[in-house]
Amino acid sequence: MAPSWSSLSPSNQRYQLVGRLPKEAGHTVNCLTINEQGNLLASGSDYGLKIWDLKRLVEVPLSVRQHAFHDPMQFEELVVKRVGTGCEITCMTCDMTVGTGVRIATGTHERQVICWTFHNNILVPAFSIQLSTMVPKGIAFMYGQKDVYVWGMYDGQMHTIRGDGTITKTTSLVTAIGGVAMHEKQAVFLIDNVMDGLSLHSAETGHLIRSFPTKPSVPKSKDVAFGEKGVIVVGDGDHGSVYVFNRKQGTQLQKLQHAQEGMVQSIAMLLIFILGLLLMDAMDQGSLLNRWQSMATTATADVIATVFRPSPRIQQAASDGGEWTEQDKRTYHNLRAEWKALRGNVVTMAVSSSPQKQRRERSLATKEMGVTGEVILVQ
């Protein structure tokens, strides 16, 4: 008999496992992302794009190049854009804090950085530049700014690119970059330095702020993420585990066991007021999606990712030890009402539709087809 959700892991843990999603056999899951409401997950694999209902733990139908559907939880393909000569897309990001519509930026293995604006179902180029030596590994926007930040895969450098495509600054981090995540409001970024764990850096200077050792046995590129409004940082392990650290103190808070062995390929985090998600995918063992608790799983588990949620104590924390204010509560309820009106149809591989900015616009999903060099927008 399968264990109940409540019996999967101790209740006193910071994150607790609550569910799993099945995976397509034989296909590695390469990337994960969650919509802002926290009810939908998008997973990208060798098989393609899948969208999941996190409340029911089932797949949401994806209607591709079909214009008639009746299920409000279906998605339809809007735009297919070939990038460059069709080489691998190595990174993607989006922003809705500047101007009208959604800004989308991509980096490719051909050393191209391309930025678009997507508005009223039209994708308009903003700039395209060719980098001299850097192969982009990570790309991000800063909250409320037009600049684009790009991190190199092999050279350990970070470029700051202006909204017109001009490189205004290059910073050397003196370390390899395996994975990268930007905290857009706190002007810091987190990288997997490949050799010994995670490193937190200033986005303005590139200076090292703090290190978080994970003691990897093999120097491989791994994913990283911020969580709980930047209170925690999260990094993949190579023994089927994921590490959770306090960002300011550098202490390890919890070690989440995703599988008995194998490298964790991708993680994603979201904290919308009292809602939190942590998802992981094991590259070698056939991945896991479990909804928030921590337990050891078998190496043969046929699932797509592992989802954890915060304990009740963590869910009530607004930021670094703070409590929710009345304004926080009002904003939370307003957002829930807005998302209900929009039917919550927002999924992002890179695009995140903000209810404050675009209450009347249709929600979007972005699909990154890595090796074919295509960017696909679905609605």
Specify the pTM.
Answer: 0.66
Q: Considering only CA atoms, which of 369, 345, 279, 268 is closest in space to residue 49?
A: 369
Between 68 and 128, name the one with better pLDDT.
Answer: 128
Range with the lowest mean pLDDT among 45-49, 208-212, 262-266? 262-266
Which residue is listed with tokens 């927002």? 346
pLDDT given at position 287:
38
- Alpha carbon distances (Å) from 267 to 120, 206, 256, 282, 354: 31, 24, 12, 10, 22
Give residue 326's identity as a one-letter amino acid code: E
DSSP 229-255: TTTEEEEE-SBSEEEEEETTT--EEEE
| Per-residue pLDDT tens over the stretch 18-36 | 666 666 555 566 777 777 6
Sequence spans of domains, the chain: 26-56+72-172, 180-285
As a whole number of angstroms, the distance between CA 52 and CA 66 comes to 20
pLDDT given at position 168:
93
Residues 6 or more apart from 328 whose CB is under 8 A from it? 273, 318
Residue 322: how many other CB atoms lie within 10 Å: 12
C-alpha triplet 236, 241, 245: angle, nearest 5°: 60
Q: Considering only CA atoms, which of 89, 85, 61 is closest in space to residue 75?
A: 61
User: Is the pLDDT reported for residue 16 higher than 50?
Assistant: yes
Residues 30, 44 contacting (CB under 8 angstroms): yes
Range with the lowest mean pLDDT among 37-41, 288-292, 311-315, 360-364? 360-364
Residues 6 or more apart from 1 whose CB is under 8 A from it? none
What superfamily does domain 26-56+72-172 belong to in CATH?
Answer: YVTN repeat-like/Quinoprotein amine dehydrogenase (2.130.10.10)
pLDDT given at position 275:
34
First to last CA, the chain: 39
| Per-residue pLDDT tens over the stretch 268-299 | 544 333 233 444 443 333 333 444 332 323 22
pLDDT given at position 143:
81
pLDDT given at position 131:
92
β-sheet bridge partners, residue 200: 190, 210
Asked if domains 26-56+72-172 and 180-285 share a fold, the reply is no
At 327, the pLDDT band (50, 70, 90 cuts) reads low
Q: What CATH code is assigned to 180-285?
A: 2.40.128
Between 354 and 15, name the one with better pLDDT.
Answer: 15
